[in-house]
Structure 1
């Protein structure tokens, strides 16, 4: 079920002028703080009424300024997960999960077991929120939203209040949610690691406007969006399949451009993965390197070079069917004679890829 957003609104001196479509899967609204992400998701939820425009979900019109249509929040059939879990402290986890159904006059527990299994909540059902960790509470909040049978799930930076360890714990559950829940998700984040792990579609926002929108693989490998993503966080995502686990602790992954070797990856042989490769970790060589410690040397072709105001250059590369980014100095680019069409080799140390940058595979 596709969401279509075309809205204009003014908040003080800030002007929001946003148009995009969100297909099935996980559409991530990405941008720096103050780019308009939360205003957009609140407009979809009905918490903000734009001055102009139109919002539709499938065949349903949720908002239309021209016809003065503004469907109330409780009639939009949307589940909303906030940064904080907002659970009822006096209810058990089970009763928190079933709250929306009981408010709607449905006493049925149908679907509870599936959501409990999907989010790993079985051991928590009799606890109260005060006895939960932050990650556990967010999983309960997600389950409660899903049990309201929403047409779409809205998630506004649901991991922002969690530390690194808790984020790492909950990300696999969100990946399962993406592939198994069967509900489209509109997800707000300014964290590139989350975007790379979860997104099937990305809408990049800056200063209240859409810079680019499209499949995650295309957007994350677009050198024109490095300023929005941030130099240190810029990087592409590769589709990979686990080939084998070697006795020396190295896992070999098949990517479209060759074989990628990484430290032991906790995934079964044959599993599909997504691997985020940071631009700053990719070196380039015009000849195949020999006698170096880096295990990953992939043949690539230069697509574009984007020179900034400083000494750096972002190079977009074709690696098989995938695209990579490399961040090098202008001096290196000139010394290597790089230009569109140049054949070269991308070099990557195995240990450069963090475990948190490896996720369950889905087409990007």
Structure 2
């Protein structure tokens, strides 16, 4: 175990109460805006102080309310990439990078030169932050973190203000830079695609609490909680009425579904990802819905087909189906009722 966090902090009507551990790998904190992700990082960094709890990094106690231990941010050896990068405006690029290097003048100069080369900042050494693009500022901030040789690196929504092309470029550079880092990396994001590309383990935070910690592939394939399904991008969710051990009624879709897994009393919702739905011409199968097309939305490489149950009572409850453009063109019954199948193995049973 490299990092252990078990803290509580009350802020008005909001309570942050999180417990999780992270090994020497990239762990993502995934959650909606305002759920407590950034505040968790600030408590680890020592910028904010929890009301109670413990924070331990590589066996070193950073905070312990019972033992009255609360190391200053300078003593925690935490590399924290803020959303706004927090560069010193009156310092040049090389001065910003060197500010965290605790060594002699010669060693500092060598460390700065190395990081300027690694992060493609040659020619910008004498420029100040206001003379740099957003991407350049981010690279300076990350170079400063790496030059300080931290025990842990924390990235707070590092790509939220960047356009898609620049975001992709910087993602690759950051991944390359972190590949040789031996400590723990925490990535805060509400973007499921970033989380999947970057991390190995994901902690889902909802309303100030960690709901689940899981290996990323397991989390996306079979989220246990409603909040985890929503955060990992599942758009089709219905309330559940249990009919038998392997049979349920999806209330919002007005559809009876058979399931591979037995239904526990904790299961309150069923979901299915939009790209898992399949077209079928058969109506003699389990889990088939006869639908009307409510709307067709074109994406660059796929269509989003909004469907409603032809026999359903609620016109407002629709199913989102994502299908490749070529496959949609091959379906010749677009103006007729369409049958789609909810495969048992693709159903998400959610608490």
What interval of TM-score do these two structures reach, taking the shorter chain for normalisation? 0.5 to 0.7
Distance in 2 between residues matched to 1:341 and 1:193, nearest whole Å: 20
Cα 1:200/1:129, change in 2 over 3 Å: same
Secondary structure of the corresponding residue to residue 111 of structure 1: helix
Point out where structure 1 has 5 or more consecutive residues left out of the alignment: 235-277, 288-308, 315-330, 343-364
Root mean square deviation of aligned Cα: 3.0
Contact kept? 1:174, 1:198, Cα under 8 Å = no
Cα 1:190/1:141, change in 2 over 3 Å: same
Q: Deviations over 1:115-172 (max 9, x none)?
A: 3343222343233322211011101001101111111112211222223333122111
Contact kept? 2:236, 2:320, Cα under 8 Å = no
How far is the alpha carbon of 1:286 from its aligned partner?
Answer: 8.3
Contact kept? 1:118, 1:176, Cα under 8 Å = no
Cα 1:16/1:228, change in 2 over 3 Å: same
How far is the alpha carbon of 1:68 from its aligned partner?
Answer: 1.3
1:125 correspondence with 2:134: no
Match for residue 229 of structure 1? 232
Match for residue 185 of structure 1? 185
How far is the alpha carbon of 1:105 from its aligned partner?
Answer: 5.6
Distance in 1 between residues matched to 2:344 and 2:236, nearest whole Å: 24
Cα 1:341/1:156, change in 2 over 3 Å: closer
Secondary structure of the corresponding residue to residue 80 of structure 2: strand
Contact kept? 1:15, 1:208, Cα under 8 Å = yes
Distance in 2 between residues matched to 1:185 and 1:215, nearest whole Å: 15
Number of residues of Structure 1 aligned to a counterpart in Structure 2: 258
Distance in 1 between residues matched to 2:236 and 2:140, nearest whole Å: 30
Distance in 2 between residues matched to 1:105 and 1:212, nearest whole Å: 41
Distance in 2 between residues matched to 1:80 and 1:218, nearest whole Å: 28
Match for residue 106 of structure 1? 104
Q: Deviations over 1:261-306 (max 9, x none)?
A: xxxxxxxxxxxxxxxxx9433454789xxxxxxxxxxxxxxxxxxx
Cα 1:64/1:286, change in 2 over 3 Å: farther
Matches within 5 A, 1:305-320: 312=319
How far is the alpha carbon of 1:73 from its aligned partner?
Answer: 1.1
Point out where structure 2 has 5 or more consecutive residues left out of the alignment: 238-271, 282-315, 322-338
Match for residue 274 of structure 2? 280
How far is the alpha carbon of 1:48 from its aligned partner?
Answer: 1.6
1:333 correspondence with 2:341: yes
Distance in 1 between residues matched to 2:47 and 2:153, nearest whole Å: 15
